[in-house]
Amino acid sequence: MESLAGRHALVTGGGRGIGRSVAATLTKAGAKVTVLGRQEGPLKDAVAKGQASAYAIADVADAGAITDAAKRAAADAGPIDILIANAGITGSAPFARTTPDQFRSIFDINVMGVVHSIQAVLGGMIARRFGRIVVMSSTAGLKGYAYVSAYAASKHAVVGLVRSLALETAKSGVTVNAVCPSYTDTEMVHDDMARAARKSGRTPDDVLAAILKDKPLGRLIKPEEVAAAVLYLCSSQAAAVTGTTLTVAGGEV
């Protein structure tokens, strides 16, 4: 893999989990990385540990805030060449007990947050004839899971966005792709398992075993494995790869 030296990457949801691992991987490849999120502590920690070069605080659900943050990041570190639209939230409930407001809150982050992030940087990428946009979807964007209808619907939506936008930008030098990991060993997944354990009266280990029982790989995906897929899609070697979903799921899909 060639160096990403001279490239500026913006990673939303970059303070922890997959976003943090992606930021560290792109930094190691030579990119200048700005991590963006709502909580300053994890973002500052990523910079302090050399996993990113700068951070910005913004809520991706707020179009104005993400646009302003992207402009400030570009002014400080140069035009944004790479966008990793990773920020996302989960939610679990039977469909019959999932309210319209719960659907809206998940879509505000998982779908409109991606839309706002892309719109904040796409014009500059097209003008410079280079850009890499990688949207973090999920195996839930390719198949259904029970009790997460709002989350699965949001992840299907961003896959559709990626496929459509890739057609619009195919000749522009900008690629648009999605990465679809299965359950990944992150704080968010462990938090979800802990909540499920409390609701069901099971132990977290029992919840994990239930999750993994139909997973061919038999383990959670490592964040570094997802980050490696992102790194490939950001490279010049992937210039002809656009509108696709790169699945990191150990054979599940």
* Domains of the chain by residue range: 8-184+223-243, 186-220
Query: What integer is the mean pLDDT of 167-175?
Result: 98
How far is Cα 223 from Cα 200, in angstroms, rounded to an integer?
27
Catalytic residues: 151
Q: How confident is the model at residue 1 (pLDDT cuts 50, 70, 90)?
A: low
Contact indicator for 23, 193 with CB cutoff of 8 Å: no
3-class secondary-structure state, position 157: helix
Q: Which of 64-78, 178-192, 232-246 has the lowest mean pLDDT?
A: 178-192
- Fold adopted by 8-184+223-243: Rossmann fold (3.40.50)
How far is Cα 91 from Cα 152, in angstroms, rounded to an integer?
10
Contacts with 51 (C-beta within 8 Å, 6 or more apart), sequence order: 20, 23, 24, 27, 33, 35
Query: Which pLDDT score, from 0 to 100, does residue 71 have?
Result: 98
pLDDT above 90: residue 19: yes
Q: How confident is the model at residue 186 (pLDDT cuts 50, 70, 90)?
A: confident
Query: How do residues 104-148 score in pLDDT, each as one tens digit?
Result: 999 999 999 999 999 999 999 999 999 999 999 999 999 999 999
Query: Which pLDDT score, from 0 to 100, does residue 125 have?
Result: 98
Query: Which pLDDT score, from 0 to 100, does residue 211 have?
Result: 83
What phi and psi values does residue 128 have, to the nearest 5 degrees? -90, -5
Query: How do residues 227-243 score in pLDDT, each as one tens digit?
Result: 999 999 999 999 999 99
Provide the mean pLDDT of the chain: 95
Query: Which pLDDT score, from 0 to 100, does residue 214 have?
Result: 87
The interaxial angle of helices 149-169 and 100-110, nearest 10 deg, is 40
Q: Residue 93 is inside which H or E element, if any?
A: none
pLDDT above 80: residue 181: yes
Query: Which pLDDT score, from 0 to 100, does residue 206 have?
Result: 87
Neighbours of 131 (CB within 10 A): 24
Query: Which pLDDT score, from 0 to 100, does residue 207 have?
Result: 84
